Structure 1
Amino acid sequence: MLRKIYFLFCFIVCTLPVLAGNIKGRVTDHTTREPLIGATVMLEEKGLYDITGLDGSFNIKNIAPGTYHLSISLAGYKTRVQEITVTETGMPVTDITLEPGNKKELHEVIVAGKTNKAAEGTARLIERDASQVMNVVSGQAIKLSPDLTVANVIQRVSGISVERNSNGDGQYAIMRGMDKRYNYTLVNGVKIPSPDDKYRYVPLDIFPAELLDRLEVYKALTPSMEGDAVGGAVNMVMKDAPDHLAVDANLATGYNELFFNRDFMSFNKGGINAKSPYEINGNQYNATAADFPNATADYKQQRPMPNLVGGLSVGNRYLNNRLGIILAGSLQHTYRGSNSLFFNTEKVDTFSGVTITSMQQRQYSEEQLRYGLHGKLDFRFNSRHHLEWYNAFMHLANTQVRDAVGTQLTIGGYDPENGNATLSFNTRSRITRQQIYNSTLQGDHQLLDKLQLQWAAVYSKASNRQPDNTTIPLSGIEQHFEQTRTTVGNASRSWEYNTDRDLAGYLHLVYNQPVAGVPVEWRLGGLYRDKQRTNFYNNYQFHPANLQAEYGKDFNDYTEIQWVIDNPRGSVGSALNYSATEKIKAGYLQFKIAAPRLEVTGGARVEATDQGYEMKVPIGEDRPSANQTYTDVLPSLHFRYMANDKTNIRASYFRSVNRPGFAELVPAPIVREEYSEKGNPDLKHAIADNIDVRYELFPQATEQLMAGVFFKHIKDPIEFTLQRDPRRPQDSYYMPGNFGNATNYGLELDFIKYVKQFGIKANYTYTHSSITTTKAQRVRDANGDFAIITPEQTRPLYGQSAHIGNLTLLYRNARYGWDAQLAGTYTGDRIVTVAEFIDDDQWQKGFIQMDLSMEKTFGHFSVFAKANNLLNTPMEVYIHKPRNNTDAIPYQTDSGKVLVRRDYYQRAYLLGARYKF
């Protein structure tokens, strides 16, 4: 009898799971249908619960058949209790929506819940409902990513690679294979000026990423947008005032692995002269050595302090939600650098090979102080009138020491086996301070039921300062692998400043008037911008007072070197001493037809440009000033077919332009360390016709699948190449030019998918571009003598990679408060320097960068860690020709190509804490 009871008990226990069911579902926001992550779903009668995952899903297993009450709760939302019935097979998967809590009624405005502008669902919603092709990175994704600057964030977007600075961080965006010159940058929809001394593109590494609500990338332009973008436009949407008191603070520290193995080199940056003697005493003043403090030569080597990163934002709404205020700031004080290897080659065509003349090993030490301040006030007078005042100040100070050791490979008894060589030592100390300030006052007024007025008044200013840029060279020798500094060479010190000031006004009239029962929105508007740019450059050359003085005998420190000035009044006769103006007048007419399944946006924009320069010291130049005036008509047409609520099919066409950079027109030469460059006053602006087709699927509010193709035809593209001066054929300069026509086409794929705690974001872009330019080539003529011919060569556009890919693996466990992501980026081969001679272009080798971030939340507190460049992938540059040198050269192989440059940046780590209320 007991045995029968035992077997019956075992049978019931074993069959209970079979008879039990599962409760599955998904929790979403009632208004946006965005999945709610971290909601608690509890079965009240059993006390069993689950936490919703990245896709908002939950699953409570092994529930006996019956009727229960399911409680769903999440901070900021009303708790919902729902009665459910569980059968032997469970219950069907169902969506459960939560309504936001704390709704408030104003006197004249009803606020029925506010969309979280930084959420993933909001980013997908913007992409889905946009009138043109675009991609959006949410503030939530930015916060959890390994990236600290906007430049590093933007590399995660499909079709975008970044040009990196000397410490390996991203700096400029290359969009769809179009160089940084073909893009423009917006802050809250308003274009900002550039701190660059010659061009108009904006360095994105000046912007701390944590100040953003989201990052928008426009890949097609509508008539209401400014028309000077061929690759696209980047819009940084800054943090906005929340609908309740919100405080977000973080503090972190870390270190760069590069300085585990070597010291950080610095100088006395507090003792330098902010202005040159020319500026202090006038242009007739003859400077002496006493006018130049030795702070820039006061070098110190030690291990750097740990990095420090922090941020704080506070926001709230007042006066019955009429007034919103947000204040945010970010500080990043970091120590970065690189170990770099450079090879110099002969600057002549050597037929089938490349002759390497010298090798230089460089150590960069860079102290970066980056901070951003952001404030915004918005005031609602009533439901029809709204004002916003936005202010932002961004600052990046980069204090850099470059310490280089050069080895002569073709002269001086180079003997690597016995460790003998002729050396050159070169130390450069430099401070670069870049700033961008923007103040924008905007108004939005509903004048009539069908008529709306939008306007903006903008003041912006960007500046760049490089005071007392100092380079000190020494000769040296290597004997039996021991290096020794010997005599001093000629030194230089320079001062360089520039400012770029914009005054702009925007005006938009929006009129809604149905046509044949179909809603149509008409937009009429324009802008006026007055840009004033000033540039100053002065350079002093020095030679040592004692030409025979030797290091270690006559002096032991660089501050002890006695100098004689070769040009006591400085050298201001440079193309970098100029002023420039640009006045843009633009008007547009735009319509948007919103049929039930088809949206059509189109119209035309007219932009009139008046751009000119004036050299301040036009020594020997026959064109000291010049102006270019031209008018462009820029039509565009965008179709969005909505097969259903989750699917878009887009097709668009737009025409755009690319204007020359400011210094690109100035004809005087600029002498650089490795080459000389020169402007071209006859440079024309480029005009591009752009076509896009894209399929978009949004299975859930935070998921997407997008596949698109693009095509661009560019007339008169602007590219820099090494060119011979028509007036002095013996001289070659790195100059901008127009090169007929170019084409650029490609394919983009985007994929985002979440399953419970796991997610994947992936994108891939294939790009093919083609441009034909004239190159130089040495041949033998009929007499057997050398001659130069100029054949044409077809190549990709500068900076364009054929293959770009991103893969990010996400994990989030809301129950235990864990977030993690592993992000990989691949950038394929691309041209980084266009050479004068045929087949001598320099190519950057494709590379993979891997980054990691993790965060653990404890209520309002969390701790996080970030690690960058986990694979320590080097940046390498090659010429795809064999080398002529037959002797063994370090780091060179017989692979049929010549290594020109290799940079190692090492890994960087960050550990911090965050408080959010």
Structure 2
Amino acid sequence: MCMKIRIVLLLLGLSTFILGNAQNDRSLKGSIQDAESKEPIVGALIYLSDDSENKKPLGESGLDGSFVLRKIPTGNIKIRVSYLGYKEQLVEVNIDASEILATPIGLYKNSLNEVIVIGHKNGDDRKSFLIDRNADGLQNSLSARAIEISPDVTVANSLQRMSGVTIQRSSNGEGRYAIIRGMDQRYNTTLINGIKIPSPDDKYRYVPMDLFPSDLLERLEVIKTLTPDKEGDAVGGIMNLVMKNAPNYQIVSGFFSAGSSTLFSDRPFQTFNSNVINKRSPAQINGPSYLAKVGDFPRRNLILRNASQPSIQAGATYGNRFFDKKLGFVLGLSFQNNYRGSDQILNTQYPGATILPSSAAGKITDNYPQFDATVNNKYSTQNRRIAVNNKFDYNINNKNKISLYNLYVRMDEFQARSSSDTDVNTNLGQVKINTRTRWQIQTIYNSTLHGDHNLSDRLSFNWTAAYSVARQQTPDYANFEVDYAKTKNADGTQSLPLIFTPNSPSMSAIWAHNSDKDLSGYLNFIYKTKLSNNDLEISWGGLARHKIRDNYYIKYSLTALDSSFSDILSSNLDFKTGSATAPYGNTGIGRNYSIKENVVAGYGQFKLDLLQKLQIIGGVRIENTSQRYNTNLSSDVNAGKGHIYYTDVLPSLHLKYAFDDRQNLRASYFRSLVRPGFVEIIPQDIPASENEAYEQQGNPYLKHTTADNYDFRYELYPKGTDQVLIGAFFKRLYNPVEVTFSHYSVIGGNPSPGTNILTPTNIGNVKNFGIEAVYTKFFGKFGINANYTYTHSSATTSKYFLHYDSTTKVNVTQSRNQTRPLQGQAKHIGNLSFIYKNPSIGLDAQIAYVYTGERIALVNTFYDMDTWQAPYSQLDFSFEKKLFKRLSLYGKINNLLDTKTKYYIKQPYLIGNTLNKIPGQSDPTKQIFVQQDIYKISYLFGIRFKL
């Protein structure tokens, strides 16, 4: 509570400071623009004409080119307006009271021989705005400066500020994956400088976006339509991370910040000793025939201790050009060590449904969900990120240029989870106390060599050779469980005696690692010509990519030999009696595998500009996919090895009509595909103990997804970076994939009902459509940035329905069709940011609000039993105040509303003739509570310098 009060006081203080600076006596108001284009000029400096250049300017033009000069002398004065790349302008004004200039002050550009380099700074808002405006397809961007002054420190959290994008959060509340236009993360692709990168995730292709610190970006792009020259595997969109480029002049910059989370004001942050962990399993160290010993498994990594360390972030960038501006170089370094966490309550479900013979409704209730246990989890997560970004480019001459880019990112996640569970209805019976520790290492390395060559005035080509490798390693993923019997005594007190069983106390240790290596080559030719005096550009080319992915897994399980348990260290553990294979470790069902994938693609594309009004881009892309996988499964298991191949023809057509220089109308069609994740096409099984709550399996009969995509958008650019964008989209998906509850095992084709197993499944054909609106307006020192997206999809699937037949007096399982939205899709998405920028006092401030409507988190195979995530709102605040010319103070505060993530089933709670029995239940008449995650408020304060 004290921390919340301090944060509120801080915000009030900043507001008072801003308002105080808004007061004035005599003032002069006006605006500054380019004399020829009439575009507003942001950041022009205004001086009194008799001031020397070393004197402080009276003011600076704002976000819309306007300025206000306060407390200026009366009478006739001359002001001098200065801006890099433009000629200075003198203006004479008579000041009696407050004056407003009737016409804008126009600045003329210097002649070419007076200025060596004229252009936008790398990463500024104006450059990003122009790139979006002039793009061949639909895209939205965030500049480095917009990201820098936002409340976000990772790319994942920055993505939620963009139109049509929501994020899926990890267990510590941080954004991890992006959902674009209501399309689950599987339908989206991640690029680094336009090059596709592999994922370190052990299950899927999509890349965890929280790996990337946002301070290394020059621009973040979300591309929503695909032209033939782009890879065709995206339905929702493409996230392109444009990293820092070599500047035209020397830059030296850096930052340092520290902060914390108010979650750890209420409870301690728990950590463990990772130094005792062996990076390799006993079988890796000694060979697969080695009989492991109890001494091979340290237990000190399961001893949790309290820690109170602040989150720390730091970074630095250096860039310059050498040898007469021919050689460019940039190096960026970033380090983050963040402490986050969450408190979770989870009600797990039994498989299938039940019949309530006597419910709160006073009648028999068909097809009702049944719950197993209430689990209380406390997560403490330390994320340590290291990132290095480096680029060289060399201008051989005015026709040839080469560049070499390298990126390395690493995130070490140290997570401690303490949990307890008991019967969901009685809060009595068996209680499981569980301690789990995990050290997960994720890395991505990318090296890209690129060349641009002009063979003539008409013909040019470019090429790219890229090597990328993504890895994940989880050494000694340890789990310890002790069971107790919770009973109620005659006097009303409760007892909690230890239960000694063959599986309690128990300990497990898992070693797992995977790698994904890509070798890629790209080649593109561009030929420029004329067609009836209209500009025509013809391009063709292709790519070849060879991918090798492998996965390693082994698990060791130990149990107590007797009931003499006092703590983890003293417990007498050994391999289960009578199991001769236990010391060798369990390599799982299909958990050890390798897969090779070859993708070959070619395309042809044309771009035609008709009468400087209509631009037409069209063509076709052909992609061939070949996958071969092999597992450690025996030959009698279905699809233990396999070869999957397919070819897709992907046509596209894009139209852009310019009404004038400020209005565009765009329409487009493209066909695209999505390849399933590797683990999804392999017949493997992941137990519930390793997957948070439920067992998970692959599906070797899964088909890849294709889609027809249609887009329409009207664009208005009134002035400067102001914009109004209104658009609509429609997508028809064929064989989309969703992860659903299944009660049958894919392994061996078991026909009998089993447990709740998460299984990837093709759900037929689906339609998805929506509208998008973006509004950006700057007036003086204030600005507003808003976007709204409405999405609607319709998927009809067959589900089970358990019905009580009153005639035969038996329960009958029926089949019913149910129509619902796509998994992960929110119908309503909104972003609203208020921006304040006062150059005269060096203050930037922003308050940002994000809203995500309810969405299906988990699809159940039984009717009306899908798990929904409740609507989510988040309010964040950030500021930056210049202290000196090169030094500024900044702060970022997240989740000011202390928003919680909640999940529920859309049925009334009817069990036991009570309305509030299940733990966490708040609205029993409309929904059944399933899960809640609490993150609290987090904050960072620091300093930033730019030399």
TM-score by length of 1: 0.92
* Aligned-partner residue type, residue 574 of structure 1: I
Provide the C-alpha distance between the structure 1 equivalents of 2:48 and 2:848, rounded to a whole number of angstroms: 34
Q: Does 2:341 align with 1:337? A: yes
Provide the C-alpha distance between the structure 1 equivalents of 2:668 and 2:894, rounded to a whole number of angstroms: 38
Q: Does 2:676 align with 1:660? A: yes
Provide the C-alpha distance between the structure 2 equivalents of 1:104 and 1:393, rounded to a whole number of angstroms: 41
Tell me what 1:17 maps to: none
* Aligned-partner residue type, residue 408 of structure 1: D
Tell me what 2:422 maps to: 407
Provide the C-alpha distance between the structure 2 equivalents of 1:244 and 1:741, rounded to a whole number of angstroms: 53
Q: 1:780 to 1:355 in 2, by over 3 A?
A: closer
Q: 1:687 to 1:100 in 2, by over 3 A?
A: farther
Deviations 1:108-155 (A, max 9, x none): xxx542322311111211111111111011111000001000000000
Structure 2 residue runs without a partner (length 5+): 1-25, 355-365, 577-581
Q: 1:333 to 1:854 in 2, by over 3 A?
A: same
Provide the C-alpha distance between the structure 2 equivalents of 1:531 and 1:248, rounded to a whole number of angstroms: 37
Tell me what 1:348 maps to: 352
Q: Does 2:819 align with 1:794? A: yes
Contact kept, 8 Å, 1:71 with 1:79, in 2: the verdict is: no
Provide the C-alpha distance between the structure 1 equivalents of 2:126 and 2:732, rounded to a whole number of angstroms: 35
Q: Does 2:596 align with 1:581? A: yes
Contact kept, 8 Å, 1:655 with 1:688, in 2: the verdict is: yes
Contact kept, 8 Å, 1:45 with 1:69, in 2: the verdict is: no
**Correspondence 1:424-463 to 2 at 5 A:** 424-463=432-471
**Correspondence 1:117-156 to 2 at 5 A:** 117-156=122-161
Q: What's the C-alpha RMSD, in Å, of the aligned pairs?
A: 2.5
Contact kept, 8 Å, 1:714 with 1:742, in 2: the verdict is: yes
> 1:849 deviation in Å?
0.5
Tell me what 2:413 maps to: 398
Tell me what 1:323 maps to: 327
Provide the C-alpha distance between the structure 1 equivalents of 2:280 and 2:36, rounded to a whole number of angstroms: 61
Choose from 828, 831, 834 the match for 1:806. 831
TM-score by length of 2: 0.89
Tell me what 1:73 maps to: 82
Tell me what 1:307 maps to: 311
Give the share of equivalent positions with the same residue, in percent: 38
Q: 1:134 to 1:281 in 2, by over 3 A?
A: same
Tell me what 2:841 maps to: 816
Tell me what 1:911 maps to: 941
Contact kept, 8 Å, 1:354 with 1:884, in 2: the verdict is: no
Tell me what 1:865 maps to: 891
Q: 1:629 to 1:379 in 2, by over 3 A?
A: same
Q: 1:789 to 1:96 in 2, by over 3 A?
A: same
> 1:65 deviation in Å?
11
SS at match of 2:531: coil
Q: 1:385 to 1:217 in 2, by over 3 A?
A: same
Contact kept, 8 Å, 1:103 with 1:113, in 2: the verdict is: no
Moved more, 773-782 or 237-246: 773-782
> 1:61 deviation in Å?
7.6
Q: 1:104 to 1:734 in 2, by over 3 A?
A: farther
SS at match of 2:275: helix
**Correspondence 1:668-817 to 2 at 5 A:** 668-673=684-689, 674-723=693-742, 724-725=744-745, 726-731=749-754, 733-780=757-804, 783-817=808-842
* Aligned-partner residue type, residue 898 of structure 2: N
Deviations 1:577-600 (A, max 9, x none): 111111110000111112211111
Q: 1:424 to 1:755 in 2, by over 3 A?
A: same
Tell me what 2:637 maps to: 621
Moved more, 453-462 or 699-708: 699-708
Deviations 1:532-556 (A, max 9, x none): 000011111211121x224xxxx2x
> 1:356 deviation in Å?
3.1
Provide the C-alpha distance between the structure 2 equivalents of 1:485 and 1:912, rounded to a whole number of angstroms: 50
Contact kept, 8 Å, 2:367 with 2:801, in 1: the verdict is: no
SS at match of 1:210: helix
Q: 1:558 to 1:112 in 2, by over 3 A?
A: same
Q: 1:490 to 1:326 in 2, by over 3 A?
A: same
> 1:424 deviation in Å?
1.7
Aligned residue pairs total 878
Q: Does 2:41 align with 1:35? A: yes
Contact kept, 8 Å, 1:41 with 1:52, in 2: the verdict is: no
Provide the C-alpha distance between the structure 2 equivalents of 1:25 and 1:475, rounded to a whole number of angstroms: 73
Tell me what 1:16 maps to: none
Q: Does 2:926 align with 1:896? A: yes
Contact kept, 8 Å, 1:125 with 1:701, in 2: the verdict is: no
* Aligned-partner residue type, residue 927 of structure 2: K
Provide the C-alpha distance between the structure 2 equivalents of 1:807 and 1:794, rounded to a whole number of angstroms: 32
Q: Does 2:650 align with 1:634? A: yes
* Aligned-partner residue type, residue 860 of structure 1: R
Choose from 856, 869, 874 the match for 2:900. 874
> 1:58 deviation in Å?
1.5
> 1:846 deviation in Å?
0.4
Q: 1:95 to 1:835 in 2, by over 3 A?
A: farther
Q: Does 2:401 align with 1:386? A: yes
Choose from 474, 489, 498 the match for 1:486. 498
Q: 1:42 to 1:745 in 2, by over 3 A?
A: farther
Q: Does 2:551 align with 1:535? A: yes
> 1:29 deviation in Å?
10
* Aligned-partner residue type, residue 409 of structure 1: V
SS at match of 1:492: strand
Q: 1:564 to 1:99 in 2, by over 3 A?
A: farther
Q: 1:777 to 1:31 in 2, by over 3 A?
A: same
Q: Does 2:572 align with 1:562? A: yes
Q: 1:283 to 1:39 in 2, by over 3 A?
A: same
Moved more, 775-784 or 20-29: 20-29
Tell me what 1:194 maps to: 199
Q: 1:736 to 1:450 in 2, by over 3 A?
A: same
Q: Does 2:297 align with 1:292? A: yes
Q: 1:597 to 1:663 in 2, by over 3 A?
A: same
* Aligned-partner residue type, residue 763 of structure 1: N
Provide the C-alpha distance between the structure 2 equivalents of 1:369 and 1:136, rounded to a whole number of angstroms: 27
Q: 1:453 to 1:132 in 2, by over 3 A?
A: same
Provide the C-alpha distance between the structure 2 equivalents of 1:195 and 1:444, rounded to a whole number of angstroms: 31
Q: 1:21 to 1:399 in 2, by over 3 A?
A: closer
Q: Does 2:263 align with 1:258? A: yes
Contact kept, 8 Å, 1:473 with 1:491, in 2: the verdict is: yes
> 1:21 deviation in Å?
10
Q: 1:481 to 1:383 in 2, by over 3 A?
A: farther
